[in-house]
């Protein structure tokens, strides 16, 4: 059964549409279940700041990949891929429909697309890092340019960490580093529905969301999760969780780097910046079928895309890599 994915920038209403779709697509014989693809909603306790749908508002629909990590743990795309693909397998085994929802582009790609994660070799990496220190990163970048020109052009000569990783992968796998990058090629039949809206509408939605989060207790949530050395009373936020928009700005306020008002404004500004970054990521994927998030017929329009995908009449194959792009205004 075709997997339905709802993607796009933050504050466009992806969670609401995913719930509406799952409810509308569910029947007694074929229920629908939701799989999260938001990196920070994986964390237990990070609820207000990630706009996680509370359990009592999930309409009885099964949700997966929520609250599976402690905030002190660092997230791993490879670990998520393994666990979330197992969820898709289990959902399919139950004869149910999977509805994926999230704005973390790399996580969506890792779940839906052909994407390999080469292992690591501590000895190889240590040797390459020692060479970078002794010979300089430009020497290693020149070596990368000889072995994988495309990777060298993409990484550039100043990012030592990525240069070392690329050379490590080449040595471990015997293949170019770029051969391991994600390809726009579904591993199972899927259709992506993207939500977007005008920048003015999106900016207003972001401002309203931040206001609601602050009123709903975002600061108290951060305090309950952050460790004493971070200004909180909880077990502590790991490196990944502490970088989340909403949490990072509150922590900076507590470090004396800003006032509360400045922290709140920074959350709004950084959320808007995140939304534009997400739009850039998903906008580069020609397989996404875009809808106006403000449309009064949004659910009907999304259901029409799913029906066309199920019937095989949607422009572009749901299993291939070169579908026709549809975007707002086109």
Per-residue pLDDT at 126 exceeds 90: yes
Report which of residues 29 and 321 the model is more confident about: 29
pLDDT digits (tens, 9 = 90+) for 136-150: 999 999 999 999 999
pLDDT of amino acid 179: 83
pLDDT digits (tens, 9 = 90+) for 69-121: 999 999 889 999 999 999 999 999 999 999 999 999 999 999 999 988 888 89
pLDDT of amino acid 330: 27
SS3 string, the chain, reads CCEEEEECCCCCCHHHHHHHHHHHHCCCCCCEEEEECCHHHHECCCCCCCCCCCHHHCCCCCEECCCCECCCCCCCHHHHHHHHHHHHHHHHHCCCEEEEECCCHHHHHHHHEECCCCCCCHHHHHHHHHHHHHHCHHHHHHHHHHHCHHHHHHHCCCCHHHHHHHHHHHHHHCCCHHHHCCEEEECCCEEEEEEECCHHHHHHHHHHHHHHHHHCCHHHHHHHHCCHHHCCCCCCCCHHHHCCCCHHHHHHHHCCCCCHHHHHHHHHHHHHHHHHHHHHHHHCCCCEEEEECCCCCHHHHHHHHHHHHHHCCCCCCCCCCCCCCECCCC
Per-residue pLDDT at 123 exceeds 80: yes
Phi, psi of 204 (to 5 degrees): -65, -40
Percent of the chain's residues with pLDDT above 90: 87
pLDDT of amino acid 327: 34
pLDDT of amino acid 181: 75
pLDDT of amino acid 150: 93
pLDDT of amino acid 50: 98
pLDDT of amino acid 256: 97
Taking the CB of residue 24, how many other CB atoms lie within 10 A of it?
14
pLDDT of amino acid 319: 59
pLDDT of amino acid 316: 67
Give the model's confidence band at 324: pLDDT under 50 very low, under 70 low, under 90 confident, else very high.
Answer: very low
Which pTM was predicted? 0.86
Q: If 0-12 CB within 10 Å is exposed, 13-18 middle and 19+ buried, where does residue 290 land?
A: buried
Percent of the chain's residues with pLDDT above 70: 95
pLDDT of amino acid 317: 56
pLDDT of amino acid 323: 35
Per-residue pLDDT at 56 exceeds 50: yes
pLDDT digits (tens, 9 = 90+) for 196-226: 999 999 999 999 999 999 999 999 999 999 9
Give the model's confidence band at 329: pLDDT under 50 very low, under 70 low, under 90 confident, else very high.
Answer: very low
pLDDT of amino acid 178: 86
pLDDT of amino acid 85: 98
pLDDT of amino acid 134: 97
pLDDT of amino acid 328: 34
Q: What is the mean pLDDT of the chain?
A: 93
Give the model's confidence band at 183: pLDDT under 50 very low, under 70 low, under 90 confident, else very high.
Answer: confident
pLDDT digits (tens, 9 = 90+) for 275-313: 999 999 999 999 999 999 999 999 999 999 999 999 999
Taking the CB of residue 82, how many other CB atoms lie within 10 A of it?
12
Per-residue pLDDT at 320 exceeds 80: no
Distance CA 3, CA 316 (A): 15
């Amino acid at each position: 059964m075709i997997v339905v994915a709802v993607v796009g920038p933050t504050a466009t209403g992806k969670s609401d549409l995913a719930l509406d779709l799952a409810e509308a697509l569910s029947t007694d014989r074929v229920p629908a279940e939701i799989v999260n693809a938001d990196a920070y909603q994986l964390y237990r306790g990070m609820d207000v700041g990630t706009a996680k749908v509370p359990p009592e508002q999930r309409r009885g629909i099964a949700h997966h990949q929520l609250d599976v990590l402690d905030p002190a743990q660092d997230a791993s795309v490879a670990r998520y891929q393994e666990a979330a693909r197992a969820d898709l397998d289990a959902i399919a085994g139950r004869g149910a429909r999977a509805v994926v929802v999230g704005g973390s582009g790399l996580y969506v790609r890792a779940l839906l697309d052909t994407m390999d994660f080469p292992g690591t070799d501590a000895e190889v990496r240590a040797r390459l890092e020692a060479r970078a220190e002794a010979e300089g990163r430009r020497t290693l970048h020149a070596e990368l340019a000889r072995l994988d020109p495309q990777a060298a052009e993409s990484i550039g000569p100043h990012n030592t960490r990525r240069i070392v990783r690329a050379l490590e992968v080449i040595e471990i796998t015997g293949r170019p580093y770029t051969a391991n990058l994600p390809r726009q090629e579904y591993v199972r039949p899927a259709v992506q529905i993207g939500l977007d809206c005008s920048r003015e509408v999106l900016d207003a939605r972001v401002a309203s969301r931040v206001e609601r989060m602050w009123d709903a207790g975002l600061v108290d949530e951060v305090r309950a999760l952050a460790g004493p050395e971070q200004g909180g009373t909880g077990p502590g936020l790991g490196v990944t969780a502490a970088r989340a928009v909403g949490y990072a700005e509150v922590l900076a306020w507590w470090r004396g780097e800003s006032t509360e008002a400045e922290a709140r404004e920074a959350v709004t500004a950084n959320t808007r910046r995140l939304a534009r970054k997400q739009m850039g990521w998903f906008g580069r994927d020609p397989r996404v079928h875009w809808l106006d998030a403000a449309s009064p017929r949004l659910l009907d329009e999304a259901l029409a895309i799913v029906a066309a995908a199920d019937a095989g009449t949607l422009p572009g194959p749901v299993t291939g890599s070169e579908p026709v792009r549809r975007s707002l205004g086109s």
